[in-house]
Amino acid sequence: MLIAIAHGILTQMEQKPYILLVNPKAGYGKSVLPFMNKTTGQDQAHQYIQHITDLFAYYGKPIKSHIISRKSTTEAFLNTLNTDNCEALLVAGGDGTIHSVLPVVLKKSLKLGIIPVGSVNILAKDLGLPMSIKEACECIIKGHLKHIDIGSVDKQYFASMLGIGFDASVIQATKDRLKKRLGLLAYGIAALKVLMSRKSQEIEYKINQRKHSEKASFLLIQNSKYYSGKLCISERSSLDDGTVELITISSSKKSYYLLFMLALILKAVLKVDIFSYLSAIQVRQVKKVTIIKQAIPGFHLDAEYKKESPKSIKLQTKCLSIFC
């Protein structure tokens, strides 16, 4: 009997720990369990940690947890953390939180586990991950990995998408508070606001190794299938096919942007695809995009706004291992 207990303790001691990062600012402030009151911030983060630690402990898996104070300091924090002997890095957060860990996860070749508690969770939806914390943890414990492509631009990374022009302005205009309250609708409101106030943007770019350049007022590079929530522009888009979808709008007319938004909604709600009838919208599969000139600086990576202009956008194939 004593030998069996000692063996059990030793087995647990031999298990490599999972490192869990929790973003207390992610999501709508939803409760961990249905009967709990909604909480926000640190209380919510502690609820998540307790719940996830208990779930992993049930399967004899140890966890070391950390609360991320700010996404902007996550990379520096992770660089100081000893991850040499960990099983994987787990992130309880949304797409922004995942984006903030990508540089270190790729540099240290860590396996990534996603517990989707963000407000949109595009990457998790694309991977088909369960949206419940319990099921997402069980999925990680099962240990099945998918190897996905990651976009890179000037030593920064994106898992789902990169947007320039209108798309970046919408991300910049979407208030965090409204995003937590309204979710996807907050982006819709920001999109209409930007449309009403925005000056026309001109982006000059080059595809792959071509010599000639092209111009657009909207440029989106998608690695994931979903654009916003479960709104989708191109079904061909895949996380592990070695290419990205380049979606451009050459017209700068405001009415064309309204048509673009209408096309997105029609496709999501009625499954009617009118993108092919909108001649100024082009969808192409590419491997590399170079931005030559951008009239108004600013872009976004996985809905995280950046002030500068991107230069060379490439794809690193199957370089990130995610539990799914």
Q: Rule CB under 5 A: which residues touch Mg ion?
A: 223, 238, 241
Instruction: Tell the smallest beta-carbon distance from residue 197 to Mg ion (Å).
Output: 33
- Residue with smaller CB distance to Mg ion, 274 or 286: 286
Residue 106 Cβ vs Mg ion, minimum distance, rounded to whole Å: 17
Q: Which is nearer to Mg ion, 18 or 227 (CB)?
A: 227
CB-nearer residue toward Mg ion: 126 or 167: 126
Pairwise CA distance, residues 72 & 129, whole Å: 26
CB of 128 to Mg ion, least distance (A): 16
Nearer to Mg ion, 65 or 238 (CB): 238
The order of strands in the sheet holding 218-222 is 281-286, 244-249, 218-222, 161-165, 299-301, 304-306
Q: Which whole-number Å values give the CA distances from 94 to 22, 114, 140, 197, 283, in the listed order? A: 10, 9, 16, 29, 27
- Smallest distance from the beta carbon of 240 to Mg ion, in angstroms? 7
- Which of 217, 238 has the CB closer to Mg ion? 238
In eight-state DSSP terms, residue 276 is: G
> Shortest Cβ contact with Mg ion: which residue?
241
In the chain, the N- to C-terminal Cα span, in Å, equals 37
Measure the CA angle with vertex 65, ends 184 and 84; round to 5°.
110
1-31 per-residue burial string, b: 16 or more CB within 10 A, e: under 16: eeeeeeeeeeeeeeeebbbbbbbbbbbebee
Helix (H) / strand (E) containing 271: none
**Distance, CA of 147 to CA of 121 (rounded, Å):** 18
Least Å from the CB of residue 125 to Mg ion: 15
Report which residue type is found at 243: T
* Least distance CB 223 / Mg ion (angstroms): 5
The Cα angle at residue 288 between residues 222 and 292, in degrees rounded to 5: 100
Integer Cα distance of 210 and 4 in angstroms:
66
CB of 116 to Mg ion, least distance (A): 20
Q: C-beta of 148: minimal distance to Mg ion in Å?
A: 8
Closer CB to Mg ion, 149 or 167, in the complex: 149
* Single-letter amino acid code for the residue at 251: S
Q: Please give the DSSP secondary-structure letter assigned to residue 52.
A: H
| Minimum CB distance to Mg ion smaller for 225 or for 300 | 225
Cα gap 162→145, rounded to integer Å: 24
Cβ atoms of 205 and 213 within 8 Å: the answer is yes
Dist CA 266 CA 65 (whole Å): 43
Compute the least distance from the CB of residue 151 to Mg ion, in Å. Answer: 9
Question: How far is the C-alpha of 303 from the C-alpha of 53, rounded, in Å?
Answer: 29
Helix (H, G, I), strand (E, B) or coil at 135: helix
For Mg ion, the closer of residues 121 and 223 by Cβ is 223
Cβ proximity to Mg ion: between 176 and 235 the closer is 235
